[in-house]
Each structure stands twice: as C-alpha cells, then as structure tokens.
Amino acid sequence: MTTSVNEAAVAIRGLKVVFGGVVEAVDGVDLTLERGQAVALIGESGSGKSVTLRAIMRLNPERKTKIGGQILVAGQDVMALSAKGLRALRGRAVAMIFQEPLLALDPVYTVGSQITEAIRQHEKISAADARKRALQLFERVRIPSPERRLDAYPHEMSGGMRQRAMIALALACRPQVLLADEPTTALDATVQIQILLLLRELQAELGLSTIFVTHDLGAAVEVADRIAVMYAGRIVEEGSARDVVLNPHHPYTIGLMRSRADGALSKGTRLKTIPGSPPDLANRPPGCPFAPRCFLAEDRCRVDAPAYVAVEPGHRAACWRTDAAHAAFAGDKARVLEAAV
C-alpha cells in the first residue's frame, strides 16, 4: 500500500487500548484504510475488533480506558481533538453503524426526528430541509413506505428496517468514513444478504471508505477489498480478500476457515474447530498469543513474539512458520474455492 498516512482515509499506528490499567484489549495495531476502500476485520469474540473500531471515534469510556498510538481520520489527529472537535468529527467525517440498532436508536423519539437532529447538528439548514434529506436517505436504503416510516419509533420497525434506518442515520451528514460493527449479526440470513449487498452498493456509489467488523468470513469476502485477521488484540494477517482466503499464511486464519460450515462440507463430516480458548488479555502469555492453540507451534513460538513477514506484495502475516502454514492449507484450498469465492 503506497498511500501516505496523511492521504489515507484512516491511518492507525501502534494503537494500544487498555481497560482498567490491566486488560490489553488492543496491542499495537497498525492499519491503513485507503480512500474508497473497504477493509474487513475478522476474528473471534474478544479479539479486539469492535474496540479498535470504537477507538477510531474515541467512543470507549474515557475514565476506564487508556489509549496510545496514533489515529488519523482524513488527516485529522483524533487523539489530539478536544470534546468539541470530536463532536464535529463524529457523524461528519466518520460515522458508525452499530451492531444492534434497537439499542443504538433512542426509543422515545421517532427515527425521522433522530436523523433530522443529526443533520441539523452539523449543518445550518431548516427542519423541513433536514426531513427532506432524511426521506431521500430512507428511499436510498430502500425502506418501504419511507414517508410513513420516518414517523415510526424504533420498536415499530422490523430488525431489517431498523438496520436500514441505522445506515441512513450514519449517512445523514455525508461522512467520508463509515464504520460498520457487525451490522448483520441480529438479522436472519435473507436480510443479512440484503444488508451486505446494500452496504457494498452504497460504498461504491458514494465513494465511502469502510471498515467492516464481522465474525463471518463469507460476509468479509462479500463486502471487503482487504481483510485484516485479528487475534488477542493484534492483527495476525492482512492482505487482499482474495489472498487471505485463497493463500492464508497464518495458522489462525486457516483455523477460522476450517471452522466454517458450508455447502461443500459433506454430511456427517466433523468441523476442524480451533482447540482451546483465546488468552486472558490481562495476563498475556509470552511469545505468540496463538501458540497454545496452534497446530504448528514450536518452542520459539512460546518464547518470542513473531514479527510481520511479507508473504506476497501487500500481504503480511505475523508467524514464525508462514511457509508451513501455507503448505498445510493446500488440502483445504479446493473446498474454500467452492464455498467462499
């Protein structure tokens, strides 16, 4: 990636997030989101994906959180912004689609009033013009009977419509960067596909730069140009979506793909799950944090943390045994080609 940090939509360098002075939820993350690009963060629960996303907008609780490193959004140093500067940044330069819109939307106000309020907070326009834009946004995200739905309360809408309304709210002030925190988790499979296709369409149409957090490898392939795999607060592998899926070089990435049920898996076949559990982030083990669960771990993996290795142009992995991991995946490649590409 050749874009400089000041030209990138988002540039994160050495990000550390510690809760309560003990729990290292994010440990030295470097990530660049280029303009117009979509990056997916994938990994198990507790790997630091959502914490990283919230750190970009400084949404983690200030009193209990210590953040280190550098975060640039559209060239602005987020860590140096005052409370007033953060209010101007949120919604205008960067916006977020939250995982559960029923909890993110205020239950005592109509959805339309919440969108018009957000618009008027950042722009000096009349309530009528703000409502007109809210209606246009509802039409753009394909909410049926949009004018009537503007006056609905969150609980009066289905899960899929609430998520579409949340997308409309995130787009209300025309942000440059869109952060999506597992936006399809609470939806059924059919609606999930509709939301994923809508997000990808809007990203291309509006030229948005998007970071998409998900557990679902299939969803990551659908929406992302690049994939970053997180484990124990660190990015362990990053590359183009195609390279990470078809040529993984980290045992954890391979473990995630082997654990995925899909149509190419014959009936009665047992999934190759990842043994054990993620480490206690308040008491990190020495060496590679994945070593206790890794099928390729050797003595040095338990002592020394691996540095990143450039396995292909634009594709890196933090593992001592990238070649062995890649070779181990050869037998799974045909199934992944059929199921995920």
Residue 297 placed within a domain: yes
Specify the pLDDT at position 341: 45
Whether 281 is in a domain gets the answer yes
Distances (CA, A) of 11 to 39, 84, 89, 99, 135: 12, 22, 15, 23, 33
Q: Which of these, 281, 279, 280, 257, lies nearest to 329 by C-alpha position?
A: 257
**Closest Cα to residue 252, out of 233, 220, 229, 219?**
229
Distances (CA, A) of 208 to 177, 239, 245: 6, 20, 24
Terminal Cα distance for the chain, rounded:
23
Answer whether residue 123 is part of any domain: no
- 241-283 tens-digit pLDDT: 999 999 999 999 999 988 876 655 556 677 778 999 999 999 9
By C-alpha distance, which of 54, 57, 173 is closest to 118? 173
Q: Count structural domains, the chain.
A: 1
pLDDT tens-digit map of 178-229: 999 988 876 787 788 888 888 888 998 899 999 999 888 888 888 899 999 9
Q: CA-based Rg of the chain, rounded to a whole angstrom?
A: 21
Is residue 205 in a domain? no
Residue 259, domain extent: 234-340
152 assigned to some structural domain = no
Burial of 328 (0-12, 13-18, 19+ CB in 10 A): middle
Residue 227, both tokens: 């994939």
**And the tokens for 253?**
């990435």
Helix then strand then coil, in percent of the chain rounded to 5, is: 40, 20, 40
Residue 96 lies in a domain: no
Q: Does 316 fall in a domain?
A: yes
pTM to 2 decimal places: 0.90
* Domain assignment present for 216: no
pLDDT tens, position by position, 90-120:
999 999 998 888 888 999 999 999 999 999 9
